[in-house]
Structure 1
């Protein structure tokens, strides 16, 4: 979600300061290839773990023939082993990299042991890929699960140094991407950082609209060495948000889609979906991405689509009566019914929901006195792409969780380029049943991960204003707390969350990066919050959650 006010403001500032000096870079995407990796320049990846397997992925880049036409299919061998040297083989087979699927290869490997670490690789055109590491989900009770949670990776705004830090971790079960894995904007636009845009050249140079555009953008991202390492070392569990399509997308269009200039939305949507399914290690189920992954008795990971599956168009004015209509939906009826069933039928201790946009109430209008040029209603209207824009359906889900007496619901969110920790209640203000001191009356907790590299509030609005905004959001304003359910807010640091799940508690640890303008940086633990099983009270942690006693051996 990019509030239009903020996006237009930064666009004007950047264009004015740069004079629209769009430098013409002399090289092509092929110049980013590392020759030693040929023909597997984009590395390997795994994803969607189940109790007996996972998806493995690669892309073969064949050399052009004399007439510049690529081979139509390339034979590929794949292998899965229990050791990093791939000598103790447990599964193997053959596949084709087809031009029809952009020469990507996905294999759904099954028949493996639950809760185990495996290693895998590919061979094609007489060459071997790098070795990847993957893990199956447990089918019995375990003491601890760990996941990195990421969102909002803008290639031109920052290096993927957060992915580099994640790749070093040796006790993650998976990386959960809750959307905005990439951005659709053109090269050298207002969402590119002046400091690095000449080094981080984006392909295609134009905005992604066609299938070829989206495929090229994924290819560009996957040539990044830090992202390639993260995929190599950990399974990814991914859902899309809007920028895999276009800013503020919904099921029938997007704010950043011009029908006259860019043609049919359905054609663009289909191209974006196809490229996502080709390039991401996701288990395909038609064109829908909502699904549940079971991690044994400890956790069910319920992944939803708040963007394309059923979302009604956004309303841009909090004074519009239709905003509060009971019929307005973010999910669509079939997905909403499915979500309710998945939550109520889950026998797992923890029900963790992978969700794209902020679910909890986000009260921001009270900060209007910080800027004499805006009103409270204007500010609130900038945040209607999140669940605040679909309040009746949110309340329906909150009431369902309460009525069904569902315990231990945790929501993971990205999108907003901020770090938040919420106790989920609806309504928040004037609710006689919600007590922020005890968590009573809340039905869930929500952890919002910071942007990995996309522009934060300070980078769009300036450090001074953002500092003021963060201060008033984090404390009572004029003697009154407008967000009593918000237990943490950070508006200006990049990073990610590590979620640690145990039978007795869940802890979310916020890790912040020192500098995203360099390829490799340091990180620091910024904050942590725990919620005990059976409770909805968020408690500040004094240190990161303990590491797993047994660590994985990284892929070589």
Structure 2
């Protein structure tokens, strides 16, 4: 997401950021020789009750005097102990140039709700050992997930990944998108404080398959990201920056066909690299899927970005914005979603969704600055579901008429923290009572950016603080709360959410990093919100959700 760039230009006389010297190293200089040839570590993902995806990348000796091998033998092992002596499955495969030497194994026949350890061997060397976990298929007392989004390599260190890696009771990490950014090295979306330390490869914007592959390789050399993947299975969906900013099915704001060629070709390259480098179970070119965590939770994963999205309309006064056939999902995905929700017998239905679903009112804050208008501000936020209001209303009505309870929407993209009660409309709706949650049909938890620029880093602390103080409280100008359904807002801190699910309630805990300008940092609990099963009322928590009774032994 980059919706605030026009806002920034309107508020500030933007001066070019200083250009760093072209540092004289290549991506290979980031390799840790102790990890050869598994420089990018290991990963796992898409847990099933009986299966898990295992991932690694073998980097064969290449252009510096060696012959690049087309096919490299790889052995994998899965065990119930960190030493990998109690082996439950093993096998042999190959890393090939066709998949950029990445390896994926879909291991089946495992025990549900069990912690496992795994590793790879190739070229006479062993990888680091990873830890993973299958999904339960029976009732459990508690599930826990870290929820992350928006990790910009050049804007901040990935210290949040390291904090997540240290947790020992997570079932998985849910990544709602923007796991990489496509911009060129030294772009205005790199932090001037650290850009000389966080040099990006390739130096140019990612457009071709070679570019996207190299960008993923660059990110996955980060030790904090490598550590998180080592310790937890990931469940991932893409957003726009895995392709290009403000992407839709037929193009993107940050794609110039005249200079960068076919969008179809670029989209295909981005998809291929994503499926190669992420521990996701592949099904054609779609990321839409559902995962069962037994009778307690179903996780339904959406694509509101690439699969069916109509082109964005960036004018709230354009009547086409409100057309009933305007779609962010596409017809087939929408019907699939309705079926998944109707057929689910799980207590909780959790949606993994890229962009803010709830109504987001901000135009009223225009009076804080004489350079902007209310329409201008609202226009900056039409890349989210606000830009597809008829389809949102259809889904809200569907949840209401079908009496589908306990729906939790997980969202990233916007680089801020929000907690919403989902009602349509939320503002001025006589049937919605924000004091009781009556009239709402779901709750939405928006995770902050892990390291991408927040409001204050784009438009300044003063304006951000002013907006944050009034965005969900009575506005001094008219005494009205324009976002009564927004129960929490934080516009300027980086971090992640820990989602705790029990039969009785859901709790979302917001954890914030002390700094993203240093490789290692501390974190603190910033806020928590609960909603009881059968209710759509968000209630502030007084402390984080309790840890699980049984903790995992980390991978060594």
Deviation of the 1:475 alpha carbon:
1.5
**Partner Cα distance (2:63, 2:195) in 1:** 33
Return closer, same or farther for 1:99/1:475 CA change in 2, 3 Å cut-off: same
Return closer, same or farther for 1:373/1:15 CA change in 2, 3 Å cut-off: closer
Deviation of the 1:434 alpha carbon:
0.6
Contact residue 61 and residue 67 of structure 2 kept, 8 A: no
CA deviation string 1:352-379 (max 9, x = no partner): 0000000000000000100111111111
Deviation of the 1:432 alpha carbon:
1.6
**Partner Cα distance (1:75, 1:14) in 2:** 52
Deviation of the 1:268 alpha carbon:
0.2
**Which residue of the other structure, out of 40, 43, 56, is the alignment partner of 2:41?**
43
* Larger displacement relative to structure 2 (344-353 or 61-70): 61-70
Deviation of the 1:430 alpha carbon:
2.1
Match of 1:78 in 2: 76
Match of 1:166 in 2: 164
After the TM superposition, which residues 123-138 of structure 1 pair with which residues of structure 2 at under 5 Å, given as runs? 123-138=121-136
**Which residue of the other structure, out of 305, 318, 321, is the alignment partner of 1:320?**
318
Q: Partner of 2:397: helix, strand, or coil?
A: helix
Matched, 1:511 2:511: yes
Match of 1:87 in 2: 85
Match of 2:212 in 1: 214
**Which residue of the other structure, out of 450, 469, 472, is the alignment partner of 1:471?**
469
**Partner Cα distance (2:12, 2:105) in 1:** 46
**Partner Cα distance (1:10, 1:320) in 2:** 22
Return closer, same or farther for 1:195/1:246 CA change in 2, 3 Å cut-off: same
Q: Partner of 1:377: helix, strand, or coil?
A: helix
**Partner Cα distance (2:406, 2:343) in 1:** 13
Matched, 1:367 2:361: no
Match of 2:16 in 1: 16
Deviation of the 1:429 alpha carbon:
1.8
* Larger displacement relative to structure 2 (427-436 or 308-317): 427-436
4+ residue runs over 3 A deviation: 4-8, 10-15, 65-69
**Partner Cα distance (1:40, 1:31) in 2:** 15
Q: Partner of 1:41: helix, strand, or coil?
A: coil
**Partner Cα distance (2:363, 2:5) in 1:** 14
Deviation of the 1:120 alpha carbon:
0.2
Deviation of the 1:3 alpha carbon:
1.4
Q: Partner of 1:397: helix, strand, or coil?
A: helix
**Partner Cα distance (2:4, 2:514) in 1:** 28
**Partner Cα distance (1:228, 1:10) in 2:** 39
Match of 1:548 in 2: 548
Match of 2:385 in 1: 387
**Partner Cα distance (1:390, 1:115) in 2:** 38
Matched, 1:227 2:215: no
**Partner Cα distance (2:511, 2:63) in 1:** 47
Deviation of the 1:9 alpha carbon:
2.5
Contact residue 472 and residue 482 of structure 2 kept, 8 A: no
After the TM superposition, which residues 111-260 of structure 1 pair with which residues of structure 2 at under 5 Å, given as runs? 111-260=109-258
Q: Partner of 1:203: helix, strand, or coil?
A: coil
CA deviation string 1:265-299 (max 9, x = no partner): 00000000000000000000000001000000000
**Partner Cα distance (1:104, 1:195) in 2:** 33
**Which residue of the other structure, out of 420, 423, 430, is the alignment partner of 1:432?**
430
CA deviation string 1:155-203 (max 9, x = no partner): 0000000001000000000000000001000001100011110110000
Aligned residues: 554
**Partner Cα distance (1:253, 1:471) in 2:** 36
Contact residue 11 and residue 190 of structure 1 kept, 8 A: no
Match of 2:332 in 1: 334
Match of 1:485 in 2: 485
Structure 1 stretches of 5 or more lacking a match? none
Match of 1:291 in 2: 289
**Partner Cα distance (2:528, 2:300) in 1:** 23
Return closer, same or farther for 1:10/1:47 CA change in 2, 3 Å cut-off: farther
**Partner Cα distance (1:523, 1:10) in 2:** 34
Deviation of the 1:16 alpha carbon:
2.6
Deviation of the 1:385 alpha carbon:
0.1
Deviation of the 1:7 alpha carbon:
6.9
Q: Partner of 1:50: helix, strand, or coil?
A: coil
**Partner Cα distance (2:553, 2:234) in 1:** 18
**Partner Cα distance (2:9, 2:39) in 1:** 38
Deviation of the 1:431 alpha carbon:
1.3
**Partner Cα distance (1:4, 1:198) in 2:** 24
Return closer, same or farther for 1:465/1:400 CA change in 2, 3 Å cut-off: same
CA deviation string 1:389-444 (max 9, x = no partner): 00000000000000100010000000000000000000112212110000000000
Match of 1:460 in 2: 458
Match of 1:423 in 2: 421
After the TM superposition, which residues 521-532 of structure 1 pair with which residues of structure 2 at under 5 Å, given as runs? 521-532=521-532
CA deviation string 1:208-228 (max 9, x = no partner): 000000000000000000000
Match of 2:341 in 1: 343
Contact residue 2 and residue 245 of structure 2 kept, 8 A: yes
**Partner Cα distance (2:5, 2:201) in 1:** 27
**Partner Cα distance (1:17, 1:83) in 2:** 50
**Partner Cα distance (1:238, 1:131) in 2:** 21
**Partner Cα distance (1:50, 1:23) in 2:** 48
Match of 2:262 in 1: 264
**Partner Cα distance (1:66, 1:142) in 2:** 53
**Partner Cα distance (1:531, 1:458) in 2:** 30
